Amino acid sequence: MKEKIRIKDIAQRAGVSVGTVDRVLHGRPNVSPSAREKVEKALSEMNYQPNVYASALAYNKSYTFYLVIPQHESETYWEEIEEGAKKAVETRRDFNLETKTLYYERLKEESFKKVAATCLQEKPDGVVIVPATLNLTRAFTDQLHELNIPFVLLDSYMPELNPLSFFGQDSFKSGYFSARILMMVAHQEKQIVLMKRNKDGKVTSKQQENREVGFRHYMSEHFPEIEIIELGLPMKTTKKEYDLRLENFFNEHPQIHHCITFGSKAHIMGDFLLRTNRRSTQIMGYDMVGKNAECLRQGSVSFLVAQHAYQQGYCCIDTLFKAIVLKKKVEPVNYMPIELLTKENMDFYRRTQL
């Protein structure tokens, strides 16, 4: 067992006082350059490794991290984000961590502004943010910078905001990858459908926009002759309304056999196809949420791209913990895997694996 290095041992080696060593170890002022150099040299020669966990525990401070995320339904990508964040807090429960979640409504500036103001008023120790538009989010993050509150971006990467870290997929490459996989089975088609859920004609996620850019980039490079037909579905409506819109679409486009969607709602069409016995149409979608998994199992969804939402939620909180509590350096950009699931391998996908 390695012998514990005491502060008095370091002081003796450096030829300085114990108080000087203590100030250097804890980053305190009032240490001359020459004394600091002696202590740092002694630390290096003795291969001193501080016990950051013990120091953080001894400090006995509590920490509150906020999640600023979109409003959502159950069984969604965002719900898994929250579950992962809660697990990270549970894992570090000895350090008095707590998370609080604030929800904003997509595409509503006032909703995001209100949530941002509430978050700032609460003076959190760190924040996880799913960005809105760049300018709107910047107004929030500029204030966080002024208050020295670290923040992590989730889902959409905006390097201009200078976050502590980012977790999410490379959206462009994800869309490009999806197109490549889809066209392995749809290369003989003349038309494919792109299903987009929108609000007032706008897609609610920057990440989905970037996926579509990657998808269309691949298609223009390799299959410019294939027509991409957009099917818009409103964000908030009834199952009956969805059925009516889908029924009308397939009556107007009986030759459609392949669909892609860049959100986590492939099951809207997948469930419709199962109930109406339209087995000739196949879907590619995103996220291993429960309803999507059932459609994948029953065959109306052929492929799902998984992005480990649970792991993202966990890692965002864990990164704040490491940076704020343990004072460790963290990775600034963390791209998640782009994983392809089918009914043959879906049972081996571990949603909560870290």
Is residue 111's pLDDT more than 60? yes
- Which pLDDT value is given to residue 224? 97
Q: What's the CATH code of the domain at 37?
A: 1.10.260.40
Give me the mean pLDDT over the 265-276 stretch: 94
**293 and 314 both lie in a single domain:** no
**284 and 316 both lie in a single domain:** no
Structural domain contains residue 268: yes
Is residue 2's pLDDT more than 70? no
Composition of the chain by helix, strand, coil, percent to 5:
50, 20, 30
Residue 282 sits at φ, ψ, to 5 deg, of: -120, 150
The pLDDT tens digits for 200-256 are 777 778 889 999 999 999 999 999 999 999 999 988 788 899 999 999 999 999 999
Is residue 50's pLDDT more than 80? no
Residue scoring higher pLDDT (230 or 61): 230
- Which pLDDT value is given to residue 159? 95
Q: What's the CATH code of the domain at 287?
A: 3.40.50.2300
Structural domain contains residue 353: no
CB 242 within 8 A of CB 233: yes
**98 and 178 both lie in a single domain:** no
Q: Where are the alpha helices (DSSP H) in the chain?
A: 7-14, 18-25, 33-45, 52-59, 77-91, 109-122, 134-146, 171-186, 206-222, 239-252, 266-275, 290-298, 309-320
Q: Say which range, 44-58, 69-83, 316-330, has the weakest mean pLDDT.
A: 44-58
**221 and 256 both lie in a single domain:** yes
Structural domain contains residue 95: yes
The pLDDT tens digits for 324-350 are 998 889 999 999 999 999 999 999 886
Structural domain contains residue 298: yes
- Which pLDDT value is given to residue 1? 40
Residue type, 127: V
Q: Burial level of 159, CB count in 10 A (0-12/13-18/19+)?
A: exposed
User: Sheet of 63-70: strands edge to edge?
Assistant: 97-104, 63-70, 126-129, 151-154, 165-168, 333-335
Residue 29 has a CB neighbour count (10 Å cut-off) of 5
Structural domain contains residue 27: yes
CB 11 within 8 A of CB 17: yes
Output the CA–CA distances (angstroms, integers) from residue 347 to 79, 294, 297, 344, in the order listed.
20, 11, 10, 8
Residue 187 has a CB neighbour count (10 Å cut-off) of 10
- Which pLDDT value is given to residue 44? 84
Number of domains in the chain: 3
**181 and 301 both lie in a single domain:** yes
**301 and 229 both lie in a single domain:** yes
Is residue 53's pLDDT more than 60? no
**301 and 198 both lie in a single domain:** yes
The closest of 83, 78, 66 to 128, measured between CA atoms, is 66
The pLDDT tens digits for 66-79 are 999 999 876 678 98
Per-chain mean pLDDT for the chain:
90
Q: Give dist(CA 50, CA 6) in Å, integer.
A: 10
Structural domain contains residue 343: no
Q: Give dist(CA 252, CA 196) in Å, integer.
A: 18
DSSP helix/strand/coil, 191: strand
Q: Give dist(CA 333, CA 124) in Å, integer.
A: 22
Q: Say which range, 45-59, 147-161, 305-319, has the weakest mean pLDDT.
A: 45-59
Structural domain contains residue 354: no
- Which pLDDT value is given to residue 55? 60
Is residue 88's pLDDT more than 60? yes
**121 and 202 both lie in a single domain:** no
**284 and 320 both lie in a single domain:** no
Structural domain contains residue 345: no
User: What residues make up the domain containing 227?
Assistant: 171-306
The pLDDT tens digits for 93-106 are 888 899 999 999 98
The closest of 299, 269, 286 to 76, measured between CA atoms, is 286
Share of the chain above pLDDT 90, in %: 67
- Which pLDDT value is given to residue 109? 93
Q: Is 296 left (phi over 0), alpha (psi -120 to 50) or beta?
A: alpha
**177 and 283 both lie in a single domain:** yes
Residue showing tokens 């409103």: 234
**276 and 314 both lie in a single domain:** no
CB 343 within 8 A of CB 303: no
**40 and 72 both lie in a single domain:** no
Give me the mean pLDDT over the 70-93 stretch: 88
Residue 346 DSSP one-character state: G
The pLDDT tens digits for 126-154 are 999 999 999 999 999 999 999 999 999 99
Q: Give dist(CA 342, CA 162) in Å, integer.
A: 37
